Structure 1
Amino acid sequence: MTQDISFALESFQRDAAAAAARAALKDNQEKLRSALTATIEAIAATVETRDPYTAGHQRRVADLAAAIALEMGLPAEQVEGIHFGALIHDLGKVQIPAELLAKPTRLTKLEFELIKTHPQAGYEIVKGIQFPWKVAEMVHQHHERLDGSGYPQGLKGDQIALEARILAVADIVEAMASHRPYRPGLGVDVALAEIQKQRGTGLDPSAVDACVALFRSGRFTLKQ
């Protein structure tokens, strides 16, 4: 009997120690996630103070990209990462002259080439941060296209992270539907027609279908 009690107590102690270790690990993971979240929000705030237009764009794109990911049935962890990555996808624009970002007329070819450097610039800023999501890839690849016509690397197909392919669709829709410094918004219908035109060539078919379904069903609207 004494041995049985002793064994039971030892088992209880082991179980209690294991439970405590799991609780400590979970607490540490939650603290790490909070720290990473704060990091992303701080980065996004940096962009916002310099270029309010880009900040509003990033928030709207983040909401749409996350909704598309949910519609596609991706796991919650991946959806969360897509939302956070989208919040800072245009981070590299902090290195673009503010007057160029706010230019009220269309960009010249040379000016557009300068704008096209922002994915690489943003990637250089975040690549050393150990995010549990593909944030750096999203920042780097959101202007890549399935057929290799995008930039900065000319990646094709599955060379582009799924998260970045989803972000690309959301980015185009928000940019076309909303006002730009050089033109009024073109509206959601025009934007949806454009992504359907690029479906399977430049843009991920599943992401396009999910995006169109969200708007057509009224389950998502762009908030200004």
Structure 2
Amino acid sequence: MTVQVVVTGTDTGIGKTVFAAGLAGLLDGFYWKPVQSGLDEETDSEVVARLSDLPSGRVLPEGYRLKRPLSPHRSAELDGVAIEAAKLSLPELPGPLIIEGAGGLMVPLNRQTRFIDVFQKWQLPVVLCARTALGTINHTLLSLEALRTRSIPLLGIAFIGEEMADTQRTIAEMGKVRVLGRLPRLDPLTPEALCAAMRAAFSAADFMEIPQ
């Protein structure tokens, strides 16, 4: 069976897209962002295409492209678009697929549906990206609880940022969750640096497992 992994985060702007780019490269797979809000600056798909060094065609077209950098539900309303979660069907591909959500789990797609509702329907293994900075313990433990309440398969946590040993240990112990690795902030952020950092911090085999 082809591996399909959802990459989500505890919040917006934590480095989830950079991690998704690195993971797509690590697994030599495909990348898909179902809903993109904000088109004036570089989109997440464009970031992944630039950083992952994947062959042409491995970054799939978004299901919805919305103009304003707002929550998808509001951006869609302002664009006169109705996001239909049922139409976000999973593509069939010949290799691993990395699917990136928008922001955190509770981000609304429309006035009735949140991303976590779609993830629950898909029942795909989830990687939860969490920053290491102050505030992450609360956000991460809440996100873990939300995933487990809905019986969504969880591969583990991917930390992003500088090492905060006690914070990471606290989340692992109190959240009873596996830590997959930690991606440091990279400067400069280049495809080569991201590839090297991912290979140093993560094992591709960990993302090929099916959570019990």
Larger RCO (CA under 8 A, 6+ residues apart): 2
TM-score, length basis structure 2:
0.35
TM-score, length basis structure 1:
0.34
